[in-house]
Structure 1
Amino acid sequence: MIEYLQHLSPWQWLAFGTLLLILEVFGAGGYLLWIGVAAAGVALAGFVFPALPWALQFVLFGVLSILTAVYWWRRQRSGKSPSEQPGLNQRGQEFLGRRFALHEAIVDGRGKIKAGDSLWLVTGPDLPQGSEVRVIGQDGVLLRVEAA
């Protein structure tokens, strides 16, 4: 085994990096991507410095792997900035505080309102059809309403 490691070529590092990138496609969450990039970096160093000792190649691979992983980790954490549209992709949140007329009467605590081009199930006090209600909350797909 040591004989094999002493004669690693840049092409073998490139093949290893390619294998890691292929494995990344199957859902490693970005981690194998950066380790594959580190292997490609060692391959590049092997092409530039053909007499690079195998031990130094592994040290370089380890250092590049850690640096790229830390880079990925910091980039992922910095991308968690607050959105300019906090209710985006949270249907129903945009209706909080708005008033609507009941499309179907609230009977036994359940009814419907028409909001935009959709009908929404609502919960609240029993009210006749056409009554004006105000949305005060949301429980999953149900909007909580009160008489306006």
Structure 2
Amino acid sequence: MTFFIFLLACGAAATTGIIFKPGQWYETLDKPGFTPPNWAFPVAWTLIYLLLAWVGHRLVAIPGSQVLLALWAAQIALNALWTPVFFGAHRLFAAMLIIALLWLVVAIMVLLAFKLDVISGLLLLPYLGWLSVAAALNFAIMRRNSW
């Protein structure tokens, strides 16, 4: 049951991507050569959200996971915030600050998760990897289009 509660939270965050679509504005931006193809984003996020729900489900059952669960809540809130700031408000610098904080929260989650539950730590690694690409992309787009 807890898996579905965490999946619902992930679904709520994913909804921002439905409401605030990249659209024409994003297509016209000067993007770096390492920009993933458009089809990769929904595939990656679907997998990441499933892994995040699984991590949350695992953590609930582990004594001493309160800090990790608080970080889980913080990351999903930051995750949900980034999309409307970047795609909705077109605030590239503010989005960069949000994704940098999100990356930091997830990196701390990975470190703490490995100490408490190796499987949860491993399940978080694809998220941290994808956030690294997304942060680099956000930064490159901000540099290329804000000056």
Q: TM-score, normalised by structure 2?
A: 0.27
Which one has a bigger Cα radius of gyration? 1
> Going by fraction, where is strand more abundant, 1 or 2?
1
> Going by fraction, where is helix more abundant, 1 or 2?
2
Q: Between the two structures, name the one with larger relative contact order (CA 8 Å, sep ≥ 6).
A: 2
